[in-house]
Amino acid sequence: MIDVKFLRENPDVVKENIKKKFQDHKLPLVDEVIELDAQARKTQQEADEIRANRNKLSKQIGALMGQGKKEEAEEVKKQVSANAARLAELETLEKELSEKVTKIMMSIPNIIDPSVPIGEDDSCNVEIEKFGEPVVPDFEIPYHTEIMDKFDGIDMEAAGKVAGNGFYYLMGDIARLHSAVISYARDFMIDRGFTYCIPPFMIRSNVVTGVMSFEEMDAMMYKIEGEDLYLIGTSEHSMIGKFIDTLNEEEKLPYTLTSYSPCFRKEKGAHGIEERGVYRIHQFEKQEMIVVCKPEESPKYYDVLWKNTVDLFRSLDIPVRTLECCSGDLADLKVKSCDVEAWSPRQKKYFEVGSCSNLGDAQARRLKIRVKDKEGNKYFAHTLNNTVVAPPRMLIAFLENNLNADGSVNIPTALQPYMGGKDKIVPTK
């Protein structure tokens, strides 16, 4: 959420930003919020004047009563009562106008970074850099669920009976591989100086609306019936929420945290054939990383975050590339974002396995995450997040890139301690 003062002083900049995000239907909101904001400030000014006058009259009443001038004091009391009625009206109006302004401001997209390429959707995203040499072996690579099935490692039929579509049972070596990747990712991030955390897996509605747009909330979040709680779609939600309503000492920044959690997502809409199996599901586990920092440091930590993911995947012999997200593919709160995509030898193309985002002060402004410097000045922090690793989607890339012609799967050196020292797993059928 951008600062309403910035919008008031730079309406053309905000409108141009809306156009760059191809959300022209939101253009009228800028003028609407300016008008409502003007009404709100006018209302507040009148209310403040009445409050100041009330204090003045109260002192006058006390003085008159002290002088025995009861009749005059009663007349002043009538004036105070009349002012009180008007003040009550103004305070109600203040609240209504403030809520309207906030609601509109929460739907106006954040100002994107000048480096973001302009484009309407993800087809306009721009490749930045490739890491590792993509290889297509001289044998056929089966679909990922077929690979898992050779290890007796997956049962989606039973999961469908228990929970419906979009769920799975992982078993045996495949389940162990899943847990090994998560454990390795945890230690990988701890070794890079991040503090490990296991957060709440449910969050309140004020945290949900603090970390994401209304559109994302409707498309992703599962509501707990009868309670003000939602299942998290990613641990970023509760990790950023950890700092809600806080005033943080500048010298303690940055906060660099890595967190494990299950994730729950509605995943609305139709999906293509390559998104069957365990690619797009309602429940999965993930290792995440977040940073809360000073505004001038957020570009630096943006690069630190995406490089961590690249390095982790390369340590597991998986070629990856980074892709700059264009303006139309950015969620409303994001200033800048890039995807990390892994190579799929079966599809002969890359697919998304993680996303790194700089949200500027948008989340901090909504959640009131402030920083105090040595001089006592206060400002909003910047927040960033990135996927470390998210199996089982990451397992697709892992299995395809480490598969041998005989159906066995190589275990890279970095992962072997988490797999009981095995350098290979062998199918059971």
Three-state SS for the chain is: CCCHHHHHHCHHHHHHHHHHCCCHHHHHHHHHHHHHHHHHHHHHHHHHHHHHHHHHHHHHHHHHHHCCCHHHHHHHHHHHHHHHHHHHHHHHHHHHHHHHHHHHHCCCCCCCCCCCCCCCCHHHCEEEEEECCCCCCCCCCCCHHHHHHHCCCEEHHHHHHHHCCCCCEECHHHHHHHHHHHHHHHHHHHHCCCEEECCCCEECHHHHHHHCCHHHHHHHCEECCCCCCEECCCHHHHHHHCCCCEEEEHHHCCEEEEEEEEEECCCCCCCCHHHCCCCCCCEEEEEEEEEEECHHHHHHHHHHHHHHHHHHHHHCCCCEEEEECCHHHCCCCCCEEEEEEEEECCCCEEEEEEEEEECCCHHHHHHCEEEECCCCCEEECEEEEEEEECCCHHHHHHHHHCECCCCCEECCHHHHHHHCCCCEECCCC
- Count of the separate structural domains present in the chain: 2
Q: Is residue 343 part of a domain?
A: yes
Question: What does the alpha-carbon distance between residue 219 and residue 159 come to, in Å, rounded to a whole number?
Answer: 23
Model pLDDT, residue 57: 65
Q: Do 138 and 72 belong to one domain?
A: no
Instruction: Tell me which of 44, 72, 105 is where a domain ends.
Output: 105
Residue at a domain's end among 77, 105, 133: 105
Residue 269 has pLDDT above 60, yes or no: no
Question: Could you tell me if 61 and 127 lie in one domain?
Answer: no
CA distances from 338 to 99, 115, 347 (A): 33, 12, 22
168 has pLDDT over 70: yes
Place of tokens 């484009």: 119
Instruction: Specify whether the backbone of 45 is left (phi greater than 0), alpha (psi in -120 to 50) or beta.
Output: alpha
Mean pLDDT (whole number) for 191-213: 95
Average pLDDT, the chain: 91
Please check the confidence at residue 264 and state whether its pLDDT lies above 50.
yes
- Do both 234 and 298 map to the same domain? yes
Mean pLDDT, range 110-121, rounded to an integer: 96
Whether residues 84 and 216 fall in one domain: no
What mean pLDDT comes out for the span 339-367? 96
Domain boundary among 105, 140, 171: 105
Indicate the pLDDT class of residue 75, thresholds 50, 70 and 90.
low
Whether 46 and 139 map to the same domain: the answer is no
Structural domain boundaries, residue 143: 122-425
Report the C-alpha gap between 189 and 196 in whole angstroms: 8
In a domain, 19, yes or no: yes
What's the pLDDT at 42?
A: 93
Q: What is the pLDDT of residues 296-333, one digit of tens each?
A: 999 999 999 999 999 999 999 999 999 999 999 999 99
In the predicted structure, residue 61 carries a pLDDT above the cut 70: no
Task: Read off the pLDDT of residues 101-110 as tens digits, 9 standing for 90 and up.
Answer: 999 999 999 9
Same domain for 153 and 201? yes
What whole-number distance in Å separates Cα of residue 226 and Cα of residue 95?
27
Whole-prediction pTM? 0.88
66 shares a domain with 194:
no
pLDDT digits (tens, 9 = 90+) for 246-256: 999 999 999 99
CATH of residue 91: 1.10.287.40
Residue 115 belongs to some domain of the structure:
no
Instruction: Give tens-digit pLDDT for 390-413.
Output: 988 899 999 999 999 999 999 999
Determine, yes or no, domain membership for 114: no
pLDDT at 363 over 90: yes
Residue 8 maps to a domain: yes
Q: What's the pLDDT score for residue 48?
A: 84
Amino acid sitting at position 229: L
Looking at the structure, do residues 244 and 274 belong to the same domain, yes or no?
Answer: yes
Nearest CA among 291, 407, 408, 426 for reference residue 360? 291
Q: What is the pLDDT of residue 392?
A: 84
Task: Tell whether the model's pLDDT for residue 271 goes beyond 80.
Answer: no
Considering the domain architecture, whether residues 95 and 126 belong to the same structural domain is answered as no
Burial 355-378 (b: 16+ CB within 10 A, else e): bbbbbbbbbbbbbebbbeeeeeee
Domain match, 32 and 178 both? no
Question: Could you tell me if residue 382 is inside a domain?
Answer: yes
Q: Based on the fold, state whether residues 222 and 310 are members of the same structural domain.
A: yes
> Does 110 reside within a domain?
no
Q: What is the CATH number of the domain that holds 285?
A: 3.30.930.10
**One domain for residues 416 and 297:** yes
What percent of the chain is modeled with pLDDT above 70? 91
Q: Supply the pLDDT for residue 270.
A: 44
Q: Do the domain assignments include residue 117?
A: no
Q: Are 111 and 321 in contact (CB under 8 A)?
A: no
